[in-house]
Chains A and B, each alone.
Chain A
Amino acid sequence: MLIDKIQRYLDLLAPSENVNENGDCTLLRTQSFFESLHLTQYSKEQIKYIEIFAKKIEVSKKIFIAYDIQSFSPRDETQINNTVFCRMFCHLMGVYVYTKDYKFLNTLLKMSSNILTTSWYTPLSLKLIFEELIEDE
């Protein structure tokens, strides 16, 4: 199953260092958000946030490490690292499998084409999973 393969890939990703959330409920940390997700068990609100991240990718080709939860403007303009990028890629695949919404597939195709930034890349093993997903279509 494709979802199992995505899950296995996620399991291999290095766990994050403890991030001090400071109890700030107006802050959304990109890394923490994607680490809190479970494949195939997305809530409506989580899908809404993933769609916002997809929009960020499409429009600015940049994902920062923290956003204001209301306005979704960046609170820290440091870009996410490649591990978070891969985690995001996995969950975009997960949401696509879950919703069959081509909007997510479109973002995935663009991310996979490595056109985003030179600091992010889609590793071969992840690309292979993605190719399998496309072949299923």
Chain B
Amino acid sequence: MNKKDINLIVIADRNCTTSMFYLEYLHRYGYRPWKIYVCNFLYRPSLSSRKEKLVYLLSHKLYKKMTGKSPPSRNEFQFELYDELQSSFDFKANLDLAAVNYNLYSDSVETITAWNYKDPDFQKLLLKDTTTHYLYTNGGIIPQELFDQKIKILHVHPGIVPGVKGSDGLLWSLIERGKIGYSCFYMNAGIDTGDVIHQEEFKNNKFPNLRPLYNNYSQEVYAALLASYDPHFRARVLINVINKVSGNLSLLKAHKQEVGVGREFFSMHPLLVKKCLLNFF
């Protein structure tokens, strides 16, 4: 099948499964992003100085030197959960992120190590091209200075904005609207306040097989939902957006969100997460 080149640069966080889903869906639906920045974001620990950054990098390198392999990130149990949670979709993505061949998805792949979006070198790289569309996958808050340069960054947020903004949108959507919803918008410096391109809601899938895990492994199940279930919907929504304009992203139309309307939610407490997970069994 011939792939259609699209004017999109995917900012793929190499440690985030959502990146993998976007790329896999684009590939399966015949789209080839112009470029992929494979980003090794170091933002997770809140380190800021060069010294702290160095310690962080060295500890990873030391682990690799002493054991001959990368620090462990995912275990077999998680992979089994991913497998089960993907059972209702057309295909199962391989979430072994260390084994991803990015060249399969684009002709131009560049690997980058950046602190986060505030990293000046990373900003310089992104600002080299402000005519194209970028796709956000992860990496934290994007500072205003990038938007001042008219950069266009697409994001698929798990929640129908402005009603469901903020963290843990998958579960807050279930509480607020009884189903899961996604919004594709152009990011701005606010929290999920960008101009909306497309919104879609879906019926939630049930996983009765996982019910026995409920009492003791609710956090693991939730982490697996975020890693392997939610990204399927995000990627589907992205594909629907791209299909609407037949891959020509410059034709995308967006409308402003009403200011001061809607609700912003915050990270969910583990006890509330546990209660909400009942929606999945």
Contacts and interface: CB of A to CB of B under 8 A. Distances in A.
Interface residues of B, dominant DSSP: mixed
Contacts of B47: none
Interface size classification for chain A? 10 to 19
A106 B264 contact: no
A55 B275 contact: no
Contact of A113 (B175, B264, B269, B275): B269
A127 interface: no
A55 B272 contact: no
Contacts of B271: 109, 134
Interface string A96-134: 000000110111011001000000000000000000001
A12 interface: no
Interface of A: 55, 58-59, 102-103, 105-107, 109-110, 113, 134, 137
A55 B175 CA distance: 18
Interface of B: 175, 263-269, 271-272, 275
Contacts of B175: 102
Contact of A58 (B266, B272, B275): B266
A137 B266 contact: no
A103 B269 contact: no
Nearest to B167: A58
Contact of B275 (A103, A107, A137): A137
Contacts of A110: 269
A15 to B, nearest CB: 32
Contacts of A134: 271
A134 B272 CA distance: 10
B189 to A, nearest CB: 16
Contacts of A107: 266
Contacts of A113: 269
A110 B273 CA distance: 13
Nearest to A54: B266
Contacts of B263: 103
